[in-house]
Structure 1
Amino acid sequence: MTILHTPRLRLEPITDQHLDGIHAMNQLPEVMRYIGGQPETFEQTAAWIADAQRCWAAWGTSWWAFIEPTSGRAAGAGCVKYARREDELPADLDSLRCNPLEIGWRLHPDFWRQGLASEAALCMADFAFDNLAAPELIAVRHPDNLASARVMDRLGMRYRGLETWYGEMNATHVVSRGDWLRL
């Protein structure tokens, strides 16, 4: 599992040691507004981390905890993982390898409006293109989530339209490897 670094964050593959910090973020209505619409319970966050660990084991990529190095606090989380059309993660994770790799992120509100989502996303995209040889990356968002749209724009992603991902219609953005390398 790969630890990544940005000028202001350490991206650690998410584990149970991050549970309290990630749950502190995922239980906030303003964080989950566009991600399922409801705050998560402690048990839901624990199950989400367990799923991420399964994905790390199967694919060598999944969710990272964004750690602010000075305080050690979880500032957010982000991923490079195989996207899926269905809401639930399948038992056979290899079945998702035919889908594109997705990049995603979320931040605790204490870390909003500081450019950290863009900083972490640039680092994760480099990982996807350099280490995983991704031909493209997609990013999906609730159509009303304009803050994420701005991060996608900063990544050079283009809007592709509304598509079904995770069991619902999402605004979908894409950047090809060739376009990424030209940035």
Structure 2
Amino acid sequence: MREPSVILNTPRLSFVMWDEGDAAPVQLLHSTMATTRYLSGNAPWSLEKAEQRLQGWFEEQARDGTTKFKLLAEDGSFIGRAGISRFRNEQFELGYSLREEAWGKGLATEAASVLADWFFERQFAPGFIAFTHPDNIASQRVLRKIGMRERAPILIDGVLGTAFELTVDKRPAKL
């Protein structure tokens, strides 16, 4: 197995590009109602759906230079996905999903914050959005912590989601 292509690192996380054979961990990430209840479809992913998303991430990376990356813990174990990619082929959107055992440790905030810095440093665009299911309070807290501001709700798959925005001129100073 080849060494993963590291995109970005923090003290606790590595963002790497996916491998062709990564559909099984993607499916495992989204295999429970707890990890999919706030996602489109509101149901565990099949292996076929995981393979489709994986191919989409390869296409996004090739086209835009950014996508939802594989997220590894400091010990190299797979803990989720996180990145910024195009939403509806228009604006960029921040998104992340972590395995349940990684919840409550500040990893989503760490990932979202470093992704925002990376995105603006590389000048992909002057801003990006993120959205959550209206009941996903934990994710809304993450987005607010990194300086995102709530904006008009967004309709996705019949659910009126809570939408956020961050622009380079509104990005809080690094601590």
Please report the TM-score for the alignment, with normalisation by the length of structure 1.
Answer: 0.85
Matches within 5 A, 1:15-164: 15-36=19-40, 37-70=42-75, 72-84=76-88, 96=89, 99-164=90-155
Structure 1: segments with no counterpart, 5+ residues = 85-95
1:172 and 2:172 matched: no
Gaps of 5+ in 2: none
Q: Which amino acid aligns with 2:152?
A: G
State the SS of the aligned residue for 2:59: helix
Deviations 1:123-150 (A, max 9, x none): 1111111113421111011111111101
How many residues in Structure 1 have an aligned counterpart in Structure 2?
A: 169
**1:91 aligned partner:** none
Cα separation, partners in 2 of 1:17 and 1:119, compared to 1, 3 Å: farther
State the Cα distance separating 1:27 from its structure 2 match: 1.1
The two structures have a TM-score, normalised by structure 2, of: 0.89
Q: Displaced runs of 4+ in structure 1, greater than 6 A?
A: none
Distance 1:182 1:165, change over 3 A: farther
- Report the RMSD for the aligned CA atoms in angstroms: 1.8
Per-residue CA distance 1:119-174 (angstroms, 9 max, x = gap):
11111111111113421111011111111101001111111121234665321101
For 2:172 and 2:105, locate their aligned partners in 1 and report how far apart those are by CA, in whole Å: 25
Residues 165, 133 of structure 1: alpha-carbon distance in 2 compared, 3 angstrom cutoff: same
Q: Does the CA contact (< 8 Å) of 1:18 and 1:65 recur in 2?
A: no
Question: In the alignment, which of 14, 18, 21 is matched to residue 14 of structure 1?
Answer: 18
Preserved contact between residue 21 and residue 73 of structure 1 (Cα < 8 Å) = no
Contact 2:150 2:163 in 1 (8 A): yes
